[in-house]
Amino acid sequence: MLLLAVFAFVGALWAADPFVGTWKLNVAKSKAANPSLMPKSEVQKSEGLDNSLKTVFDGVDIDGKPYYMTWSAKYDGKDFPNTGDPDADTIALREIDATTFEFVLKKAGKEVMVGRDTVSKDGKTRTMTVKGINPTQGFGGTFVYDKQ
DSSP line for 47-116: EE-SSEEEEEEEEE-TTS-EEEEEEEEESBS--EEEES-TT-SEEEEEEEETTEEEEEEEETTEEEEEEE
Element (H, E) at 124: none
Residues 5-13: what's their mean pLDDT?
39
**In this predicted model, what pLDDT tens digit does every residue of 36-87 receive, in sequence order?**
889 999 999 999 988 899 999 999 999 999 999 999 999 999 999 999 999 8
Domain CATH for 52: 2.40.128.20
Containing structural domain, residue 113: 17-147
Sign of CA dihedral 126, 131, 132, 138: positive
* Per-residue model confidence (pLDDT) at position 37: 87
The contacts of residue 109 (CB under 8 Å, 6+ apart) are 90
Asked if the structure places residue 30 within a domain, the reply is yes
Residue 4 lies in a domain: no
- Whole-prediction pTM: 0.85
AA letter at 104: V
Per the structure, how many domains does the chain have?
1
pLDDT over threshold 90, residue 8: no
120: in domain: yes
